[in-house]
Structure 1
Amino acid sequence: MSSPHIAVYGATGHTGRLVAADLRARGRDVILAGRDAGALKALSDELGGAPVHQAALDDPAALRELAGRAAVLIHCAGPFTHTGKPVATAAAEAGCHYVDHALEQHHTKWMFDTMTEPARAAGVTMVTAMSFYGGLGDLLAGAVAAGMAGIERVVTAYAVSGWRLTTGARATAELLFADTQRITFADGVQRVGYVEPRNAVFPFPPPLGPRTMIAPVPFSEVVTVPRHVRTARVEAQLTAATFEEEQAFTSEHVDAATRAGSDFTVAVQVITEGGGRAGQARGRDLWRMSALTSVEAAVRLADGLGPDQPGVYSPAEAFPAEPFLRDLERLGLFTLSLEERR
């Protein structure tokens, strides 16, 4: 018996190709989907043959047809500010589970605000922000904060070097940093409005050590983390040096091997009045980490190993955070370090 089909929308992009190749390596039946029929056919040939499905973002019938052919749809084609609504809507309408790579705050909030009832009515699980930025922070926050009470603040901090942006990632970054209506979470309240960025110092553990950070950065943790961690404040930070590397914004067409050369440390501090707890993940190639994280989620959903109830979930809501992270560690995506419970 063949496995349930998993559709990859945006399959010909860098992340989509990684997702599709890993699914095929696991023996999964894949549908390659996107807007460019020629590129899809070429990718299918590279992978030894796989069904293709052309569907433009402004063609809801084609998107519903795609979702109707699959058990799970992985959405890889950002910026999700523009692409998220039509693809997620089609998945819910067709009764198809859905996973996306979004890091945009407003798309993530839209998913929870708008798609929860359609997902429940369709009996499907939709996991948003299952990516490197935002998603790994959400999972780490869930793992570190498990069993803790009296949490005052959760800080997720990303140290990234050698990041080479794709065309879609560059467009997403430009949208994020131009946004004057950012979402924050402070004093237990979600707010939307202008935020004055500042420089901060985050105490990464050795060998990295303290680093100057952009704070806050408009990642999705401010929307996702308060859903499963009771805290007064959530903030995401990014090393200032990440965007000081000239090639970050001028490397849209580098080869896959060069793009795989990023190094990252993602650390989380969960702070209470009496102290706190921390954890971190250190690895290489944030693109591969992001792709395989969504594959792990989609395979679980396809195999009936998702949440008990349908709806929209963050990564750490959809799956037990520490076991999920340990599975990613076993794939060689990073080395995970969590402080002992105390």
Structure 2
Amino acid sequence: MKIAIYGANGYQGRLVLAEATRRGLDVVLVGRDGTRLRGAATAAGLSDADVRPAALDGRDALVAAFREADAVINCAGPFTPTGAAVVRAAIAAGRHYVDTAGEQPYIKEVFDTFGAEAEAAGVTVVPAANDACVPGDLIAGLLAERLGPLEEIAGTHVITGGGGPSRGSLRSVIESMDIIKAGGLVYDDGDWHVGLPARHTSIVLPGGSAAIPVAKFPLPEVVTIPRHVQVRHVEGLVEAALSARLSIPIDPEIIAGLPEGPTEEARRTQRFTYVIDAVAADGRRARGVVEGPDTYGTTAVIAVESARRLVTDPAKPGVLAPAQAYDPVGFLGSLLPHGIRWTIEEGMSGS
């Protein structure tokens, strides 16, 4: 199996490259700068790797590079201004596509724009194959199987440690600043809206006793969950302090002077807890929890596993949410060796 990694020389791209190599997969390194791509290949011990320089506006070069692989992983954020060109080229090449995006408007754009095109090409597109959206979406599907039609789902992200975001993540924040300040899209009564008030302002985390303040935030799962779960309301939440920090404009020149991303040592100190609280239409409750280390490393694992499964166990063509493309229990089980644990408990609610 061969995987094309677009943006393989970036911070997240190098982690995806390392994970693909660890699994023994062949790779094609694709991106705008051939020199940087070759440097990334050498650093990964792949001095003879297939390197394909291709600019975003060089559609023919992109398509040709992607045709050398069985699937494409796009790691080059910010995705809002650039991602559509990569999706379009993957579809034109007839190759399955996943990306590591977390930008809510971009993810919705992929669903709104490329469904028919991907279906006609026999290609499966799964945006937001990252540390949070894939397990959160899969857990939501399992909750719906237990509870039936849902009144609401509230997803909450809490992350501690880790040494801070990468430069790419901060640039994605700049692209998403307007939607971050607005609290993100909220799904309600059959459509997505901006500006709806949050239903929840605090949460008691697993094992906790005191509620912590939370605020609305543009989480990717808000876009994907309603694609396959019968639910009236979906909102995303993060710790209120984090939301406030990310709502402050960032000077791009300051970002350019920061380290490219957290060190490996810092990533080892990071822990994430993603909570999915569901309320059924009849009032029954259940809670799903995903916990693990190292959001960037976990994203690499999930992105490679997502692409691999599309090749070995094809899903229906089109743009799909994770739970539409993959068996939830099987995929979540594949994450256990990487320190990622998940649980579902009925009758639980931390709001």
TM-score under structure 1 normalisation?
0.89
1:1-342 matches, cutoff 5 A: 4-49=1-46, 50-163=49-162, 164-179=164-179, 182-186=184-188, 188-195=189-196, 200-207=201-208, 210-215=211-216, 217-242=217-242, 252-253=259-260, 254-272=262-280, 273-303=282-312, 305-307=313-315, 309-329=316-336, 331-339=337-345
Letter in 2 for 1:200: T
Cα distance in structure 1, aligned partners of 2:53 and 2:265: 28
Cα distance in structure 1, aligned partners of 2:327 and 2:103: 23
Deviations 1:222-257 (A, max 9, x none): 2210111101100111112446789xx875434333
SS in 2 for 1:232: strand
Q: Which ranges in structure 1 are unaligned for 5 or more consecutive residues?
A: none
Letter in 2 for 1:112: F
Classify 1:326/1:265 alpha carbon distance in 2 versus 1 (closer, same or farther; 3 Å). same
> What is the deviation of 1:263?
1.3
Cα distance in structure 1, aligned partners of 2:271 and 2:61: 38
Native 8 Å contact 1:145 1:277 kept in 2: no
Cα distance in structure 2, aligned partners of 1:161 and 1:341: 27
Cα distance in structure 2, aligned partners of 1:315 and 1:252: 32
Native 8 Å contact 1:108 1:220 kept in 2: yes
Deviations 1:122-147 (A, max 9, x none): 11111111112433321221222224
Deviations 1:28-65 (A, max 9, x none): 11111112211211121122222111111122122111
SS in 2 for 1:132: coil
SS in 1 for 2:77: coil
Native 8 Å contact 1:125 1:310 kept in 2: yes
Q: How many residues align?
A: 333
Native 8 Å contact 1:214 1:237 kept in 2: yes
Native 8 Å contact 2:30 2:37 kept in 1: yes
Cα distance in structure 1, aligned partners of 2:209 and 2:323: 26
Cα distance in structure 2, aligned partners of 1:289 and 1:92: 26
> What is the deviation of 1:15?
1.5
> What is the deviation of 1:184?
2.0
Cα distance in structure 1, aligned partners of 2:174 and 2:23: 35
> What is the deviation of 1:287?
0.8
Native 8 Å contact 1:161 1:242 kept in 2: no
Letter in 2 for 1:256: E
Classify 1:263/1:208 alpha carbon distance in 2 versus 1 (closer, same or farther; 3 Å). farther
Q: Percent identical across equivalent pairs?
A: 33
Letter in 1 for 2:89: A
SS in 2 for 1:130: coil
Cα distance in structure 1, aligned partners of 2:245 and 2:103: 22
SS in 1 for 2:269: coil
Q: CA RMSD in A?
A: 2.5
Cα distance in structure 1, aligned partners of 2:222 and 2:243: 22
Classify 1:208/1:141 alpha carbon distance in 2 versus 1 (closer, same or farther; 3 Å). farther
SS in 2 for 1:141: helix
Native 8 Å contact 1:159 1:265 kept in 2: yes
Deviations 1:305-331 (A, max 9, x none): 031x211111111112222112112x2
Cα distance in structure 2, aligned partners of 1:173 and 1:196: 22
Classify 1:73/1:208 alpha carbon distance in 2 versus 1 (closer, same or farther; 3 Å). farther
Letter in 2 for 1:318: A
> What is the deviation of 1:88?
0.1
Letter in 1 for 2:284: G
Cα distance in structure 1, aligned partners of 2:296 and 2:108: 24
Deviations 1:241-298 (A, max 9, x none): 446789xx87543433324432110011111233211110111101111110111111
TM-score under structure 2 normalisation?
0.87
Native 8 Å contact 2:287 2:346 kept in 1: no
Classify 1:202/1:327 alpha carbon distance in 2 versus 1 (closer, same or farther; 3 Å). same
Native 8 Å contact 1:198 1:214 kept in 2: no
Native 8 Å contact 2:309 2:326 kept in 1: no
> What is the deviation of 1:195?
4.9
> What is the deviation of 1:197?
6.8
SS in 1 for 2:298: helix
Deviations 1:58-88 (A, max 9, x none): 2212211111111100011111101210000
